[in-house]
Amino acid sequence: MRKMRLDDQAVAFYRQQGYYLFREPVFSQEKFDRLVALFEELLAAKSPHKRADELDKPHFEEPRLFEFLMADEVLDLVEPLIGPNIGLWSSHFIAKEPLVGRATPWHEDSSYWKGRLDRMDQIVTIWLALDRTDRENGCLRVIPGSHLNGGFSEYEAVDKAVNTFGSEIRPDLIDESKAVDFELEPNTCSLHDGRIIHGADANTSSRRRAGYTMRYFSLETRFIPDGPGNANHKLWLCRGVNVANNPLQPLP
């Protein structure tokens, strides 16, 4: 029997609050160092027209990332939350440069995925800290329990020059006094529901803030092939059975 990495208390907290902070090392130090080295390589090779926070879906082009995305160390965190039938939805390296790293406006991931899947309550994001992350360098922040409201708030436009997105949830809908800061050491992670309201301040510190988001969905969820942005999107089987018969890619 495989031993899951979250106990019943952790799972209950995640269900109620929409997030959980896992403060143990996710990978061995040697394996984590390999991932960081791969990130540094991809960051150095990125187009000069891309910001460091725009390395989205790098696994589409870099098969070495599947060592980490398909790892039992990760999937044993995911399975207690969405069940044994796990698909890879996406991944994203997000690095905020010292002093100039852009803010991440308050948002729900589900609002950007509307129409792409038939349900939003079975998607979990692991945010793996590659650097130490805290309030000073723009750590992730969430509004606990906000995932229970459905995941589709009302948005308004913001300046993309200083924000990673061009829109944010209307400020009058956010009670920032309830926000929880995800301050993490390297090789630890947070997990959050795809519907939770979250964001991050700009990085005004002298330290970089880098993380790798690994996003998973239950394969009982149906992918909508003609949904917005889905034509060239790729999915993989991580564990279990493809219950909804979604279009899956073979592992490289």
Condensed to tens digits (0 to 9), the pLDDT of residues 2-39 reads 789 999 999 999 999 999 999 999 999 999 999 999 99
Quote the pLDDT of residue 161. Answer: 85
Residue 133 CA to its chain's centroid (Å): 15
Q: What are the beta bridge partners of residue 199?
A: 141
Give the mean model confidence (pLDDT) for residues 157-167. 87
Question: Which residue is listed with tokens 């098969």?
Answer: 63
- 224-249, pLDDT tens digit by residue? 999 999 999 999 999 999 999 999 99
CA distances from 54 to 99, 147, 157, 233 (A): 17, 25, 19, 17
- pTM comes to 0.95
- Percent of the chain at pLDDT > 70 equals 100
Of 23-37, 119-133, 158-172, 186-200, least confident by mean pLDDT is 158-172
CB 2 within 8 A of CB 86: no
Question: What pLDDT score was predicted for residue 52?
Answer: 86
In this predicted model, what pLDDT tens digit does every residue of 110-153 receive, in sequence order? Answer: 999 999 999 999 999 999 999 999 999 999 999 999 999 988 89
Using DSSP, state whether 238 is helix, strand or coil. strand
Instruction: Flag whether pLDDT at 1 surpasses 80.
Output: no
Q: What is the C-alpha separation between 193 and 119, in angstroms, rounded?
A: 12
Of 199, 161, 211, whose CA–CA distance to 51 is shortest?
161
51/43 Cα distance (integer angstroms): 9
Neighbours of 168 (CB within 10 A): 20
Q: Cα-flanking dihedrals φ and ψ of residue 79, to 5°?
A: -55, -40
Architecture in CATH for domain 8-239: Sandwich (2.60)
% of residues, the chain, pLDDT over 90: 87
**H helix count then E strand count, the chain:** 5, 13
What is the per-residue pLDDT for 236? Answer: 98
CA distances 95 to 53, 56, 58, 127, Å, are 5, 11, 13, 12
**Least confident among 49-53, 124-128, 177-181:** 49-53
Query: Can you give the residue ranges of every domain in the chain?
Result: 8-239
Cα(91)–Cα(4) distance, integer angstroms: 22
Mean pLDDT of 164-173: 90
Nearest to 58 by CA among 76, 49, 46: 46
